[in-house]
Structure 1
Amino acid sequence: MNPKFGSYLGLAMRAGKLATGDELVLKAIRSGEARLVVMAEDASPNTRKKFRDKCKSYQTRLVEHGSRVELGAAIGKEERVLIAVLEPGFARQMVACLGVHVEVEHIE
C-alpha cells in the first residue's frame, strides 16, 4: 500500500470522515455522501461487481488499493474490505497520491 494513501486514511478516520463495512458504505454511496470508495484488492468477486456497479450508477469514484489487512491497519481496525471517504478534500488527496485513473471522475 502507498504509505501516503495509508496516512490519509488514518487522518480521515481520526477526523470521523470514513464509513466502513458493506452496509455503511452502500448507504453513503446511495445518499451521495461518499466522495471516494476504497475497495481491497482481495475483495470477493461478488463484492467487486456489486460495488463497481453501484459506484458507476451513482457516479462515485472507486479505487482498488491494498489488501483487507492493509486497509484495516491504516485506520486502526481489523480487516476492512470497503471504506467510503466522506470528505472531498481527503478524497482528492488520496486519488492524487495514487496517481491512477479511477473508474468515475466526479468529486465536488
Structure 2
Amino acid sequence: MTNKALSALGMAMRAGKLVTGDETVLKAVKQGKARLVIVAADASDNTRKKYRDKCATYDVELVEAFDRYTLGAAIGKEARVIVAIADEGFASLIRKQLGKHSEVENID
C-alpha cells in the first residue's frame, strides 16, 4: 500500500504540487497552501515537535511516515525529512494510501 503513496508523492513532485525543505514547508503551512505535511519517521524529536505544533496551529494535517531516504527517493531527491503537499487531490490520495497501511501507526 505504501508504494502507491510513494508513487503519488512522485507524481505530486512532477506536477509541481509538492514543497520540500524546512523553510519552504513552514512558509506553505503559514500561508495556508499546505494540505498535508509528511515528516520522516526518523526526523529529530525537535523537528517532529516543531512541525506538529505549527501544523496544529494552522490546522494542517501532519503524518509521520517513511524514513528520510525513502521520502527523498520517492520525489527524486536526496534524503528529505519534511515535505508538504499543496494540492488537495494529491493529499487526499496519499492520505487514503497511508490509511490503508496502518490506522494505528504514528498516533501521539
TM superposition score normalised by structure 1: 0.91
Whole-Å separation in 1 of the counterparts to 2:8 and 2:42:
21
Partner SS for 2:84: strand
Moved over 6 A (4+): none
Query: Which residue of structure 1 aligns with residue 12 of structure 2?
Result: 12
Q: Which runs of 5+ in 2 are unaligned?
A: none
Structure 2 residue 91 is the aligned partner of structure 1 residue 91: yes
* Percent of pairs with identical residues: 57
TM superposition score normalised by structure 2: 0.91
Whole-Å separation in 1 of the counterparts to 2:79 and 2:98:
21
Please, what is the CA RMSD of the aligned residues?
A: 1.6
Report how many aligned residue pairs link the two structures.
Answer: 103
Paired residues for 1:15-94 under 5 Å: 15-94=15-94
Partner SS for 1:48: helix
Aligned-pair distance for 1:98?
1.2
Aligned-pair distance for 1:2?
1.0
